[in-house]
Structure 1
Amino acid sequence: MSDAPLRAAGLECIRGDRLLFSGLNLNLSPSQLLQVEGANGAGKTSLLRVLAGLSRPAEGEVLWRGLDIQHNRAAYFTEMVYMGHAPGLKAELSPLENLKVSAALREGPADDARIEAALTRVGLGGFEDVPARGLSAGQKQRTALCRLLLNPVPLWILDEPFTALDVRGITLVRELLEAHLAEGGMALMTSHHALEVRGDCRSLNLS
């Protein structure tokens, strides 16, 4: 669809001397979720990093609102949030402090009450001031999920967002995705979990 905000054309990715994929095309429109599937080593994370503008493809281009993201990085990054394998937290800072730093880098000083509300929403009420080094892996992942609540951007790119989460955490991610799609947002994600999300959900298999 030519009016899709996110489009990729002829993507090729090489890691070392190995071709991961080539000639890959995709479109993503409002209220759509695309789940990237494939065996370990198929190139799922590499594809998401290319689509997030963190890596360059060997061939092809990624367009956001008709412009190549490599030539329009600043504008693209204001409309996209990327969540990778690691939660990206500084161990000596609390969840509240980590999220304040993250928000300041994107949009200026953050409202503590808004951050605390997000932490409560993801099940971390009472852990706002605990240094990240003292959190479990699942709690660190929940802290990272707060960035989705605090950054109202149209495009989410999520690499294994269920990592270290329990059943309640997995349900939380599903609810966040459903709300995002219902509001016209878009999401790209990888996951080893079977996912049932209400909305326009599609898959891309790299195997």
Structure 2
Amino acid sequence: MDTASYRLEWRELALWRGDRCLQSGLNGQLEAGQALTVRGPNGCGKTTLIRTLCGLSQPETGEILWQGIAIHRNRPDLHANLAYAGHSNGLKGDLSTRENLRFAAVLRGRHTNQNELLHGLRLTDCADLPTRNLSAGQRRRAALARVLGSGAQLWILDEPFTNLDAAGIEWLGIRFNHHLSLGGLLLMAAHQASQVDPDRETVLDLPGINA
């Protein structure tokens, strides 16, 4: 499929947590070569929106479309083209970081330059340890490496810059921009500057929730 045709769209989304409405009337779209960065105060629904747009949570109202088709009817194609790193990391704890990267790439029929990813995210020294034995910060960076090496068209990331130093943030920004230059899509929640080319980025500022 031509990468120029990839498109994620959402219409009139309402997000709730329990009996509280977090956000309503959310509309937007993300196309090939574009990034959307979601910002806002803690508790405003950034993670809920990220999870909803990749099909892990259901909106209270509204619809989400991938390739112009509602995701409940197009879920296999969405998931075949999506890589997600949230707070749970999604790593196989019995496998090393290197093995997790290899497993994710093989699933998509990809070859990944593991050494570049491991070096860029400061994981070389622990690359062959089971990920269950890594620190929280190391596991977080390993989850990022898994997404970056997946070959997926759509990257969805929740706070990707957490536990990265300035050099790591700069390196990640370079990877983001390269992904977008190839027609990839990037959706992330972040508190800080994204390092993405501003000509390719849209920022969505979610308002806080009144008590």
How does the TM-score come out when normalised to structure 2? 0.85
Q: Deviation per CA, 1:71-106, whole angstroms, max 9, x where unpaired?
A: 1111110111111023233444321223334445x3
* 3-state SS of 2:117 partner: helix
**2:170/2:195 contact within 8 Å kept:** no
What is the distance in 2 between the residues matched to 1:196 and 1:103? 25
Alpha-carbon distance in 2 for matches of 1:185, 1:93: 28
Residue 53 of structure 1: SS of its match in structure 2? coil
Structural mapping, 1:149-160, within 5 Å: 149-160=148-159
CA distance in 1, matches of 2:168, 2:113: 20
The answer to whether residue 53 in structure 2 is matched with residue 54 in structure 1 is: no
Match of 2:19 among 17, 20, 30: 17
Q: Which amino acid aligns with 2:194?
A: L
Aligned length: 202
> Paired residue for 1:202?
202
**Is there any run of 5+ residues in structure 1 with no aligned partner, and where?**
none
Is residue 37–residue 191 contact of structure 1 (8 Å, CA) maintained in 2? yes
Distance 2:102 2:9 in 1: 32
Identity of aligned residues (%): 44
Say whether residues 1:26 and 2:25 are aligned partners.
no
Contact 2:66 2:78 in 1 (8 A): yes
Alpha-carbon distance in 2 for matches of 1:65, 1:205: 25
CA distance in 2, matches of 1:196, 1:99: 24
Structure 1 runs of 4+ aligned residues shifted over 6 Å read none
Q: How does 1:130-141 map to 2 (within 5 A)?
A: 130-141=129-140
Taking the aligned partners of 1:90 and 1:75, their CA distance within structure 2 comes to 23
Corresponding position of 1:164: 163
Tell me how large the CA RMSD over aligned residues is.
2.2
Which structure 2 segments of 5+ residues have no match?
none
